[in-house]
Structure 1
Amino acid sequence: MTKTDTQWTELTRRWQELADLGGINSLLGWDQSTYLPQAASAGRSRQTALISTIAHQKATDPEYGKLLDTAGKRDDLTPEQARMLGLARKNYDQATRLPTAFVAEWTEHGGNSYSAWTEARPANDFRRMVPILEKTLDYSLQGAGYYPEFATPMDYFIDQSDEGMTQAQVDDVFRQLREALVPLVEQVAQAERPRVDFLERHYPKELQLKFGEGIIRDYGYDFTRGRQDLTHHPFMTRLGGHDVRITTRVKENDPIDALYSTLHESGHALYEQGVAEEYLGTPLGHGVSAGVHESSSRLWENLVGRSRAFWAAYFGDMRDVFPEQLKDVTEEEMHRASNVVARSLIRTDADELTYNLHVITRYELERDLLSGKLAVRDLADAWHAAYQQNLGLRAPSDVDGVLQDVHWFFGQIGGAFHGYTLGNVLNAQFYAAAERANPGLEGDIARKDFSRLRGWLTENVYRHGSRYTPNELLERATGQGLSVEPYLNYLRTKYSDLYGLK
């Protein structure tokens, strides 16, 4: 099949149309999370439901299905075209099982749920969200029920975000991590805590934003194809082939929060901006999975952004921006403060060492909701109990408990969190492979030169988009399958050095 083939031309036209409709819906969602007036939320929910309905109708058009069937029988497909058709066929088969009316109802419910959450969280009113979450759980179970080939509802949702991964595999990875991290966290908790008092001083919002944006320009984030805005819960979104936006949030008494939110989301954006031009607007034109995507964001946030080399490069700049706030602070103190380990209540504020315990807690709660083991009305209490067990903490209210994350309040329960920890595991594997291919990356970072690291990631991960399955991509890039050992070795080495552990 050649790209001038009329059949292929029609397929690519349809794929681009679906991508554009997805971009329009993403634009509506981005606006809802950034600039939408409060009174406009109900109308926005109708708009997103309408676009979703149109997109679903086009994605399930019988003529499109026939076109995929015919193209799939041809013997002149390139490997890229075969993968495109395979993903398109999978998407079509799954989409045709969902009734259009059901998709519209579920989408509208998600918009209404998000709007309710933005009011319920500051009011500490989980009771208001209980009937909404019960409806969300019902929609989620109904949705998964259309795919009986999956052993559990969680298997379906995991496969949607991380192709080929199962609940049993995630459970096993999380078990290995828990066994290794709990004692390591306990060791670090007994060590002397670094100085952090200077982080509580006043850091003006605009200066924080300017400082962070300067760093991600150095990383390679292209502001001609993106922008950064403020929101409740930071995220990255692709609105079009050359429109990849990020958001952050700012606390004027904590410059670390905005900085690492910006670095994290820029890592997602670097992945999307790095996808090969010829894949844009096709089934290959985006990151392949939640875990691989998260590996990029966590790599740039943590392995780069919290490294000693990073602060050697940027502490002087930060002190120039905030001379009074940092006049009595050393580079090493800033490095240690950016890596402080503390059992905390907030996932997005958590350090590398405890972060996965936050994710494991959420994963197990949503798994139990989907299995029927846990009722929505008991979710807040179950949250508090799990935090007490896993982190030895109890939130004073539901604001920092079950209401803190937006994910379940977008309208779906299932597959929301596991990718974060898979990303942590993968980012260590990718970075180790990049270092083997480019010895001396730490020196590059200290010189603000990210070209070799970004170049390796672009060549081996980013440009491929969804060309390969996550497992195939990992094997090609690193020469090995999924393994927790590189990540655990990284954590043990780093925190033993920082905290003087034996």
Structure 2
Amino acid sequence: MSAEPVELTELRRRAGEIADLGGIGGLLLWDQNTMMPSGGADARADQFAALERILHDRITDPALGKLLDALESFEASADPDSDDAALIRNLRRDQHKAVNVPTELAAEISSAGAHAQQAWMAARDAADFARFAPALEHVLDLTHRYIACFDAGGEFAHPYDVLLDDYEPSLTTEEVKEIFTTIQQELVPLVSAAAAAGEDGRVFPGHFPQDAQRGLADELLRAVGYDPEHWRLDPAVHPFARSMAHTDVRVTTRWEEDDLAMAVYSCLHEFGHGLYEAQMDPRHYRTTLAEATGLGVHESQSRLWENLVGRSRSFCEYALPLMRKHLGGPFEAIEVPQLYRNVNQVRLSLIRIEADETTYNLHIALRFELELALIEGRLAVKDLPEAWNEATYRLLGLETPSLKEGVLQDIHWGTGMIGYFPTYTIGNLMSAQLWRALSTDLPEIEASIAAGDFAPLREWLRDNIHRQGRKYTSRELLKRATGEELRVDPFLEYLEGKLLDAGLLTAPVRVPRS
């Protein structure tokens, strides 16, 4: 057996340092969104910039490039599915993209995101877009400068492709346009038919004190796989999940005493993100393989737990006794069929994170349309609120009564995450394909969920998705898990089937595509 190349040992050392710096950044970000006082924003921006300089210098270090060059022959002779080959392949990709970007620009982008996030919070609280606009304009200017770093390479067909590639590698603007064209054509009649049959009210009518909600959330989360030794649950204005390692996972929620669905479904959504991180292969710890292969895959996990599990009939069978136990009141008077119908009702609404599963992708289409216009220069930041309101009326048929229910509802643009939104829809499509595959492998999955046994589901996801980390591209991972390329039809078929099963449609609406 030949000795391991010394260059590979050094590559692993460098990968460990890069992973550690990423973990520190994750901790700073988690703290900014949960514990940091608002007055700490300027100092935090400086800290982000300093950390980004160090991280960027590590990734673009010419010595790392020489190591990768020296390992070319080793990689060529190695099994492409081996951890070593995947590590080399991914570090080469990361360096290839990073070397195009000056360190100072990378640091400035990181700092601007921290400042803009704080400006977004202040603007949201005051319902005053003018407090956010200058910060967003700065973020957008830096985004254009970032995109320009790749102009000479001819690697990307569209400026927006550069941004998509950061979140879902190799995804293109043309692919996303085609997906949204199909989804909008198919969803509009489905939404119209289902909304006509649905209820007009909250998913869970009633007032539920935060302590009671917390008791329910704790029991639900522990059942699905939340581990108090390695996880935390905290409140945040905009729910999110972050991990520093597979042994340190942070999830957040928002407690709304008049909207129980916010806590229940944000907990399940963020748990899905957290489980992905927690079930990474420990062998990949402190390497670039212990990361999601793409945000589309990450969102497939959160949306799977939120919707395909959390809005299923079997989950309602499991959860209703817990809701009666912790909340009593309205839950004493309903049975599983009514709960199942309630959690799947279709209502045109303004807030993305409160949107039902059927209308959700229309919210994403709106954001994709607007941020693409910003990147292409067809829309100015000052005109964004009006454009948002116009698109909301056109896509959802709703007037937007306030900025908090409109352009200021999402944190993403404030943190510089332009290009992220399409991954939610990619995740929805993937989740339906994954559910179809795992249901074939686990024919008793519905009965397991109804009985409160989520271990088979966790194990299937661990083996087929989570433990692979970044070893395969998103496309390859999906193909390995399902035998299919990314498709729209399984998601649309799943949606219509559930609406029929819940009694929210009386007859099929979609015309099957050839």
What TM-score bracket applies, with the shorter chain setting the length?
Answer: over 0.9
In the alignment, which residue of structure 2 is the partner of 1:164? Answer: 170
Query: Is the contact between residue 312 and residue 446 of structure 1 (CA under 8 Å) also seen in structure 2?
Result: yes
Q: Distance in 2 between matches of 1:211 and 1:5?
A: 53
1:145 to 139, 148, 152: 148
Query: Is the contact between residue 241 and residue 281 of structure 1 (CA under 8 Å) also seen in structure 2?
Result: no
1:179 to 182, 185, 204: 185
In the alignment, which residue of structure 1 is the partner of 2:13? Answer: 13
Paired residues for 1:87-98 under 5 Å = 87-98=90-101
Q: Distance in 2 between matches of 1:245 and 1:192?
A: 35
Secondary structure, counterpart of 1:229 in structure 2: strand
2:465 to 461, 467, 487: 461
In the alignment, which residue of structure 2 is the partner of 1:480? Answer: 484
Q: Distance in 1 between matches of 2:239 and 2:277?
A: 16
How far the C-alpha of 1:290 sits from its partner, in A, is: 0.9
Tell me the TM-score normalised to structure 1 length: 0.96
In the alignment, which residue of structure 2 is the partner of 1:223? Answer: 228
Q: Distance in 2 between matches of 1:365 and 1:331?
A: 40
Deviations 1:307-335 (A, max 9, x none): 11101111011101112353333333322
Q: Distance in 1 between matches of 2:136 and 2:62?
A: 34
Secondary structure, counterpart of 2:36 in structure 1: coil
Tell me the TM-score normalised to structure 2 length: 0.94
How far the C-alpha of 1:392 sits from its partner, in A, is: 0.3
How far the C-alpha of 1:146 sits from its partner, in A, is: 1.0
How far the C-alpha of 1:353 sits from its partner, in A, is: 0.5
In the alignment, which residue of structure 1 is the partner of 2:432? Answer: 428
- Between 340-349 and 443-452, report the one with greater CA deviation: 443-452
How far the C-alpha of 1:258 sits from its partner, in A, is: 0.3
Amino acid at match of 1:403: L
Amino acid at match of 1:45: A
Amino acid at match of 2:423: G
Q: Distance in 1 between matches of 2:194 and 2:455?
A: 34
In the alignment, which residue of structure 2 is the partner of 1:321? Answer: 326
In the alignment, which residue of structure 1 is the partner of 2:84? Answer: 81
> Which blocks of at least 5 consecutive residues in structure 1 are unaligned?
none
Deviations 1:86-115 (A, max 9, x none): 110111121122111111111111111111
Secondary structure, counterpart of 2:109 in structure 1: helix
- Between 77-86 and 173-182, report the one with greater CA deviation: 77-86
Residue 104 (structure 1) aligned with residue 107 (structure 2) = yes
How far the C-alpha of 1:17 sits from its partner, in A, is: 0.6
2:196 to 181, 186, 190: 190
Q: Distance in 2 between matches of 1:3 and 1:145?
A: 44
How far the C-alpha of 1:42 sits from its partner, in A, is: 1.0
Residue 203 (structure 1) aligned with residue 208 (structure 2) = yes
How far the C-alpha of 1:233 sits from its partner, in A, is: 0.6
How far the C-alpha of 1:360 sits from its partner, in A, is: 0.5
Identity of aligned residues (%): 41
Query: Is the contact between residue 275 and residue 465 of structure 1 (CA under 8 Å) also seen in structure 2?
Result: yes
Q: Distance in 1 between matches of 2:284 and 2:165?
A: 22
Residue 271 (structure 1) aligned with residue 276 (structure 2) = yes
1:105 to 1:473, Cα distance in 2 relative to 1, 3 A: same
> Which blocks of at least 5 consecutive residues in structure 2 are unaligned?
508-514
In the alignment, which residue of structure 1 is the partner of 2:132? Answer: 129
Secondary structure, counterpart of 2:171 in structure 1: coil
Deviations 1:351-398 (A, max 9, x none): 011000000000110011101111111111100000000000121121
Query: Is the contact between residue 299 and residue 427 of structure 2 (CA under 8 Å) also seen in structure 1?
Result: yes
- Between 21-30 and 62-71, report the one with greater CA deviation: 62-71
How far the C-alpha of 1:196 sits from its partner, in A, is: 4.6
Amino acid at match of 2:136: L
Query: Is the contact between residue 341 and residue 353 of structure 1 (CA under 8 Å) also seen in structure 2?
Result: yes
Q: Distance in 2 between matches of 1:241 and 1:343?
A: 38
Q: Distance in 2 between matches of 1:378 and 1:428?
A: 36
How far the C-alpha of 1:200 sits from its partner, in A, is: 3.9
Query: Is the contact between residue 27 and residue 239 of structure 1 (CA under 8 Å) also seen in structure 2?
Result: yes
Query: Is the contact between residue 320 and residue 331 of structure 2 (CA under 8 Å) also seen in structure 1?
Result: no
In the alignment, which residue of structure 1 is the partner of 2:447? Answer: 443
1:70 to 1:127, Cα distance in 2 relative to 1, 3 A: same
Count matched residues. 500
